[in-house]
Structure 1
Amino acid sequence: MILKSLKLTSFKNHPDSAFEFSERINCVLGKNGIGKTNLLDAIYYLSFTKSAVGSQDKLAITHETQAFTLFGTYDNQTIALQFEKGKVKTIKIDGQEPERLSDVIGKAPLVIVLPDDTSMIKEGSDERRKFFDGALSQFDSAYLKALLKYNKVLKQRNSLLKIEEGRRLNKKLLETYDDQLIPLAMDISDKRKQMKEVFLPFLQKNYADLHEGDEVPGLNFKTHVTEEFADRFKSNSQKDQIMQRTLMGSHKDDFEFLLDGELIKKFGSQGQQKTFIIALKLALYDFLMEKTENKPLLLLDDIFDKLDDSRIQLLVSLLLDNDRFQQIFITDARKDRSKELFKGQKEVNFIELAVK
Structure 2
Amino acid sequence: MWLQKLSLLNFKNYEEAELAFSETVNVFTGDNGAGKTNLLDAIHYLSLCKSYFNPIDSQQIQQGADFFMLQGVFDKEGINEVIACSLKKNQKKQFKRNKKEYQRLADHIGMFPLVMVSPYDVSIIIEGSEERRRFIDNVISQTDNNYLDELIAYNKSLTSRNVLLKKIAETGRYDPLLLEVYDEQLIASGNKIFEKRSAFMEEFLPVFNKHYEYLTEEAEKVELLYESQLLKDQFEELLKRSAERDRVLERTTSGIHKDDLVFSIHGLPMKKFGSQGQQKSFLIALKLAQYSFLQQKKGYKPLLLLDDIFDKLDDKRIRKLMQMVSEDDFGQIFITDTTRSRVERIFTSINVSIRIFEVEKGTVK
1:93-132 alignment runs, 5 A limit: 93-132=97-136
**CA-CA distance at 1:53 after TM superposition:** 0.7
Distance 2:173 2:113 in 1: 47
Tell me the alpha carbon deviations over residues 23-57 of structure 1, each in whole angstroms, 9 at most, x when there is no partner: 00000111110111110001001111111013411
Secondary structure in structure 1 of the residue aligned to 2:47: helix
Greater Cα offset, 188-197 or 119-128: 188-197
**CA-CA distance at 1:266 after TM superposition:** 2.4
Counterpart of 1:198 in structure 2 is 203
- Amino acid of the residue matched to residue 237 of structure 1? A
Secondary structure in structure 2 of the residue aligned to 1:111: strand
1:150-161 alignment runs, 5 A limit: 150-161=154-165
4+ residue segments displaced more than 4 Å: none
Distance 1:281 1:83 in 2: 30
**Given the alignment, which residue of 202, 205, 216 partners 1:211?**
216
1:225-264 alignment runs, 5 A limit: 225-226=230-231, 227-264=233-270
**CA-CA distance at 1:190 after TM superposition:** 2.0
Tell me the alpha carbon deviations over residues 159-215 of structure 1, each in whole angstroms, 9 at most, x when there is no partner: 222226235243322221111001211111121122111111111111111113342
Distance 1:266 1:305 in 2: 20
Distance 1:184 1:225 in 2: 13
Distance 1:287 1:262 in 2: 27
**CA-CA distance at 1:6 after TM superposition:** 0.5
Secondary structure in structure 1 of the residue aligned to 2:204: helix
**Given the alignment, which residue of 311, 315, 326 partners 1:305?**
311
The answer to whether structure 1 residue 47 and structure 2 residue 47 are counterparts is yes
Distance 2:286 2:113 in 1: 16
Q: Is the Cα contact below 8 Å between 1:73 and 1:79 reproduced in 2?
A: yes
The answer to whether structure 1 residue 70 and structure 2 residue 70 are counterparts is yes
Q: Is the Cα contact below 8 Å between 1:47 and 1:109 reproduced in 2?
A: yes
**CA-CA distance at 1:133 after TM superposition:** 0.7
Distance 1:303 1:168 in 2: 55
Tell me the alpha carbon deviations over residues 119-163 of structure 1, each in whole angstroms, 9 at most, x when there is no partner: 111111111111111110111111111111111111121122222
Tell me the alpha carbon deviations over residues 252-272 of structure 1, each in whole angstroms, 9 at most, x when there is no partner: 000111223332122211111
Structure 1 residues 216 and 291: alpha-carbon distance in aligned structure 2, compared to 1, 3 A threshold: farther
1:30-45 alignment runs, 5 A limit: 30-45=30-45
**CA-CA distance at 1:351 after TM superposition:** 0.6
Q: Is the Cα contact below 8 Å between 2:35 and 2:359 reproduced in 1?
A: yes
Distance 1:316 1:231 in 2: 49
1:136-155 alignment runs, 5 A limit: 136-155=140-159
Distance 1:331 1:35 in 2: 10
Aligned length: 355
Distance 2:293 2:84 in 1: 27
Distance 2:307 2:288 in 1: 14
Normalised TM-score (structure 1): 0.96
Structure 1 residues 18 and 85: alpha-carbon distance in aligned structure 2, compared to 1, 3 A threshold: same
Distance 1:138 1:130 in 2: 12
The answer to whether structure 1 residue 271 and structure 2 residue 277 are counterparts is yes
Q: Is the Cα contact below 8 Å between 2:212 and 2:218 reproduced in 1?
A: no
- Amino acid of the residue matched to residue 277 of structure 1? L
Secondary structure in structure 2 of the residue aligned to 1:108: coil
User: Which segments of 5 or more consecutive residues in structure 1 lack a partner in the other structure?
Assistant: none
Counterpart of 2:85 in structure 1 is 81
- Amino acid of the residue matched to residue 113 of structure 1? V
- Amino acid of the residue matched to residue 37 of structure 2? T
